[in-house]
Structure formats: structure tokens, C-alpha cells
A and B are shown apart, each in its own frame.
Chain A
Amino acid sequence: MTVKVLIVDARPERSRALEQALHEAGFDVVTRADEHDDLYAIMTSVKPDAVIIDAALPSRDTLEHMGQLGRRFPKPMIMLAEEETPDLTREATSAGVSAYVVEDVQPALVRSMVNVAIASFESHRALKGELTKTQTTLSQRRTIERAKSQLMETHAFSEDAAYQWLRKHAMNRRLTIHEVAQAVLASDDDES
């Protein structure tokens, strides 16, 4: 059988590359979607046999719900893997790949599809030097710390005053602390 795959990824460049790689491996990529598409509508109309989704996307929980709705919707890979492929599931998780598959797809095909996705995500990351989920939180934290230090230096603020300054600007502009911190660091780069 030809396995019909749906890709859900917020990065068009990466999902195009994955589409190409899956196509070469004999899979039929029916469509690509991102975080802001209506997954209920897409899943119902294209009826994919499998979904490859960026594991960092919150929309995974929508796919979980659809998987609970009945046989026709793909189930999370961790459920299908059983004893057979815990290593593959772990490898996929660390590569940021998450897969959902309907029950009647052959395990060999699932393995092949997931391996293609892992390779594709990893080469994209190597190429772009992209951060993983945990690194993102850490990097946000470092951005905020750096912005605070900079404010403390340029305005002779105390640490608390620096935080209050960031907070006030976040409030006024309806931004997050992280966004204001980024703006602070960017404006300094412009000046220097």
C-alpha cells in the first residue's frame, strides 16, 4: 500500500525538505500544514494514514484527541511501538520528531518513515544550528539575564529595577518579558 502522510511543521523550509525525502522513500505526502491550520478539517478531508509532526508543537494534543475518536484516525507512535521499537521512539523524541499512524500500516513502513523524518530533521538542524526545545527555554532565560545586566550597566539600575523596567515595557506594549529583552539587546547592537 502507499502510505499517505500529512506533515505538520511550523517551518516551511524543513517541511519541504521532509516532503521531498519521504517522496523519494516511496511515501505519498498528501499535504503540509502548520500550527495555525485547522487540523480537524484537514484530518477529516485528507484522511492521512500517518502524520509526522514537530514534537515541539502544542497541536500534538489535538492529534491525541483525534486518535481517541476512532479507528480511522492515526494513533501516537508510542502506543503502536509496544516492545518492538522503544529505541526508535526515543531517537525520534530526541530528534524532535513525533509520529501518528493508523493501526494497519506495516511496522516496517512505520520504521522507515520515522527514520526518514529523523534524518531529515537532524540534517536540517545541523544546517541551521537550530535549538531544541530545552535549549530554547535556556536561551530565553539567558536573553532576559543579558538584557537585565545591560540595563543595570547603562542605567545604573539595581537588578530589581531592571526587571521592573522590562516588566513595565512588556505591560505597555503587551509583549512578553522575553520579547522586550530581545528588543533591548537589539537596540544596543544598533548603537554600538
Chain B
Amino acid sequence: MNEPQTPRDEWPLPERDTLTLGMLPLNDAAPLVVARERGFFATHGLDVTLQVESSWAGLRDGMQLGLLDGAQMLPLMPLASTLGLDGRPTPMLSALTLNLGGNAITVSNALYASMQAADPEAMSQAPVSARALVAVVRQRRAAGEPALRFASVYPFSSHRYQLRYWLAEGGVDPDRDLELRVVPPPLVAEQLKAGWLDGYCVGEPWNTLAARRESGRVLLGSHDIWQHGQEKVFAVREAWADAYPATHRAVLRALLEACAWLDIPSQRVEAARLMCEKGYLDVSPTVVEESMAGEGAPATHGMSVFHHHAANFPWRSHLRWYAEQMRRWQHLDVAAPVLEDCLTRCVRPDLFREAADDLGFNYPLVDVKSEGEHASQWALEGRHGDIAMGGDQLLGGGRFSGRG
């Protein structure tokens, strides 16, 4: 660790000391839970209440109505809120990424068997190719059976676009060949078992849960689709960030420390315990522990990276990747300059760097990175020497410059 650039006694004093932050019952809310329960918020002079919301819509309402000061969010939510696509038009921004990866695609046992029978070669590929679905879709159509149903968790979600990326890569047209739904994570495993859904893309622990209950098979993880791709962010209203800059900076410091704490694999068991014991996640503790484990553990499909590889840095190009996916499927219709302006407003690496400087944490010097160029670890110049970055492969060998 490096010397803090800003000595502790020169940190600006938070304008507010009592905050309410929103989260969903998901593994990747762990940085918020750890920051509260292990005292990182308290160290930075903040008394934080975590409000567990049951839907992304409820969390969005809380943010737009000003009932929440900040929240765990899907990367596209601040953009959609700023553009007025999701709820009441409300500018929001994010200056910190909570984790990279963490989702997986699971299919029912019945669909798994059909895919296996239809195209064993596609099924033996690593990662499993959606090509195996093409044959199943064709057979079902010929037999006059209804379209297969796949779910993701929210319209403006990473899951929706990761699922579409995988499907399209294997030659499946998601709009024509399947019925795509939105089903909340706590219900997907149950609906898969009941036969209402044939597959889904959700975050952990909901994939491990289906596998544990033997109601489905996990096919691949989000790292197989976009290696070290962005998953959840910490977001606030733009007006809130302007009104309380020192408070925001203190929250970012606490979250950064919590993410670094979560980087140590043995501490993730403790994090799983905090999630279950403190009532944030009402799921069996084994499932949470198993799905929280880091690299090398058996359940790695839905693995989250919480800190290393500059995981917390808010790359402007990460949000651009998601925005490009929305465009690809005709879900986003805005002029290029409007989108550019939004990307600049919604992603704030400058604010991240202030908080990182307070702590002496390393960070990248550029705001944009390409994707699909590195198959394994590589070095990127940072404020305090090189940063070991993770691979950033895209399924099928795709490339993305990161620039508009």
C-alpha cells in the first residue's frame, strides 16, 4: 500500500453522517454489508442503514423519490434514469464498480437433456455454445411446441445483454426464436423447477441454489461471455453528489476498503456469514458460502471479483459496452452526442481517483480501456506503478475499442 496522497486529517468532513443506502438480496451487495457490519462506514464517520429492496423497480423508486441516498445498481440503471428511460427522468452517476462478473446461465434438466441429444458437440465446447439450442428450437417449432422461455432479471440489466450475447453467438435469434421474460432472482429456481422457465441468466447465489437443488444445470458464467465484465455499481443522484461531495467521497472510501477486504478469499466465508446472519440474504448459508468463494473453488461460474484487477475503477468504456449492446438490439435510440454527454455525466472516474488518493490506493490513469484484446493477465500503468489487469476476452473472439 502507498502513502495516502491526502493525509487523513485533511480529508473533507462529511456534510452528513446518517445515510440510507439501498441494496438487493444478492451476493454482490457484499461490499455494502461488509462496509456496515465490519465498521468501514463508521471509520469514515458515517452511520449507514442498509435498506434491502425486493425489486430493482423498488430501488429505482427509492432513488428517484429521494428516499435513498445511494444504492447498489445495475450499470445501465444510472444511464437509463438520466435519459428518462426508466421511471422519472433523474440524473444519476456512479464513481465506483462493486464487482466484476457474478452471473451465470442455468437451464432446466429437461432442456439440458434435449440440448445434449440435439448437439453433443456444441455441448462439449468450453464454454457451452448456444448452437445446441438452435437444433432444439427447430425441433420444437416443427412439432408445434411453444417457444422456450428464458429469463433475466430487469429490462436494464447486465444479465439481459449477456444472455443475448451468448444466444446470438450460437446463432439463436433471441427475439424470434425464444420468449424472453423478466423474473426476479428469488423466483427463478422455483419457476425452472415448475417448468414455467427453461433457462435464465441471474447473479449468485441463485445459480448455485438451482444446482444444489438439482433443478437445473449451470452452463456457463458471465466471465465466459465477457471476462471480467462490469456487474454492479454504487450509484447516487447527480444532485446528491453535488450537494454532498465530502459525504460521497467518504462512502467511496469505505466501499473501497470493504472491497479490498473481500478480496481475501478466507474473509468471504465471513462475508457470507454476515449476509445470512444479519438478515440481508434469506438463503441457506452453505449456498451463499459456496457461491461467494473465489477463484479455484468448485463454483466459479458466478464468481465475483471485488477488488483486484482494478475492479472498482469506473471505466467509461464498460458502460459504453452495455450501451452498445442496447443499441445492437434496438433498445436504445439516442443521437451519438447525447449518449457521449450521458457517459461523461454518469461515469465519474475523477471522483473515484479522489477517494483512492485519500487511501493511497492505486488506479488507472486513463478512463477508457478496450475489451477482447487480452486472453490473460496484463499490465496497465497506474498512479503508483503497474496494475495487474485481468483478461478481458469476449465470447467468440469479439473486440471492442471502448471508444465512441
> B-contacting residues of A (Cβ < 8 Å)?
35-36, 38, 40, 55-65, 68, 76, 78-79, 81-82, 86, 89-90, 93, 98, 133-134, 137-138, 140-141, 144, 163, 166-167, 170-171, 174-178
Q: Which residues of A contact B183 (CB under 8 A)?
A: 61-62
Closest 3 CB pairs of A and B: A58-B184, A65-B182, A140-B279
A130 to B14, CA, bound (A): 36
Q: A89-B61, A178-B279 are in contact. List 11 more A-B contacts (CB 8 A).
A: A55-B61, A56-B54, A60-B55, A65-B181, A76-B61, A89-B65, A141-B278, A166-B277, A167-B286, A170-B284, A178-B282
A58: contacting residue among B55, B61, B276, B278, CB under 8 A = B55
- Looking at the complex, which one of B87, B181, B284 makes contact with A174 (CB distance below 8 Å)? B284
**What are 21 A-B residue pairs whose CB atoms fall within 8 Å in the complex?**
A40-B181, A58-B54, A58-B186, A58-B187, A59-B184, A61-B56, A61-B183, A64-B55, A78-B64, A78-B65, A78-B87, A82-B88, A90-B67, A98-B61, A133-B51, A134-B52, A138-B279, A167-B273, A171-B285, A171-B286, A176-B284
- The answer to whether A78 touches B88 (Cβ under 8 A) is yes
A79 to B62, CA, bound (A): 13
Give the residues from 149 to 195 in chain B that come closer than 8 angstroms, CB to CB, to chain A: 153-155, 181-187, 190
C-alpha gap A64/B85 in the complex (Å): 11
Which of A36, A57, A89 lies in contact with B55, CB distance below 8 A?
Answer: A57
- Main secondary structure on A side of the interface with B: helix
| Minimum distance in angstroms from A138 CB to a CB of chain B | 7
B interface residues, Cβ below 8 angstroms from A: 51-58, 60-62, 64-65, 67, 87-88, 153-155, 181-187, 190, 196, 273, 276-280, 282-286
CB A64 to nearest CB in B, in angstroms, measures 5
Asked if A64 and B88 make an inter-chain contact with CB atoms under 8 angstroms apart, the answer reads no
Contact A64/B283 with A58-B184, A82-B88 known, Cβ cut-off 8 Å: no
The residue that A93 contacts in the complex, of B67, B87, B284, with Cβ under 8 A, is B67
A144 to B196, CA, bound (A): 34
Q: Residue among A56, A89, A134, A177 with the most chain B CB within 10 A?
A: A177
Name the residue on B nearest A69 (C-beta).
B155
Q: Which single residue of chain B is at the shortest CB-CB distance from A81? A: B88
Which chain A residue shows the least CB distance to B154?
A: A61
B273 CB → nearest A CB, Å: 7
Beta-carbon contact of A177 and B276 below 8 Å: yes
For the complex, give the distance between the alpha carbons of A64 and B88 in Å. Answer: 13
Q: Roughly how many angstroms separate A171 CA and B212 CA in the complex, as a whole number? A: 11
Q: How far is the CA of A27 from the CA of B222 in the complex (A)?
A: 46
Neighbouring B residues of A40 by C-beta, 8 Å: 181
| Complex contacts, B181 vs chain A, CB 8 Å | 40, 62, 65
Contact of A61 among B64, B182, B279, B280 (CB under 8 A): B182
Whether A176 contacts B65 in the complex (CB less than 8 A), given A38-B196, A61-B57, comes out as no
Q: Which of B58, B88, B196, B286 contacts A60 (CB 8 A)?
A: B58
Instruction: Identify B57's interface contact among A38, A64, A89, A134, CB under 8 A.
Output: A64
User: CA of A35 to CA of B185 in the docked complex: distance in angstroms?
Assistant: 13
The complex places the Cα of A58 from the Cα of B55 at a distance, in Å, of: 5
By beta carbon, the residue of chain A nearest B66 is A90
CB A136 to nearest CB in B, in angstroms, measures: 8
A7 CB to closest chain B CB, in angstroms? 17
With A57-B54, A58-B187, A134-B51 as known contacts, state yes or no: A65 contacts B155, CB within 8 Å: yes
B65 touches A86 (CB 8 A): yes
Q: Are A176 and B282 in contact (CB under 8 A)?
A: yes
Q: Given known contacts A64-B155, A78-B61, is B279 in contact with A141 (CB within 8 Å)?
A: yes
Known contacts being A35-B187, A57-B54, A76-B57, is A137 close to B182, with CB within 8 Å?
A: no
Query: Which chain A positions have C-beta within 8 A of B87?
Result: 76, 78-79
The listed residue (A64, A76, A137, A177) touching B154 by CB distance below 8 A is A64
A160 CB to closest chain B CB (Å) equals 10
A residues near B61, Cβ cutoff 8 Å:
55, 76, 78, 89, 93, 98
Q: Considering only CB atoms, which chain A residue lies closest to B213 in the complex?
A: A174
Q: Which residue of A lies closest to B61 (CB)?
A: A78
A170–B289 CA distance with the chains assembled, in angstroms: 13
Residues of chain A contacted by B190 (CB below 8 angstroms) = 36
Q: How long is the Cα–Cα vector from A176 to B186 in the complex, in angstroms?
A: 13
Residues of A within 8 A of B282 (CB): 140, 176, 178
Cβ–Cβ contact A63 & B284, under 8 A: no
- Measured CA separation A133–B154 after assembly (Å): 21
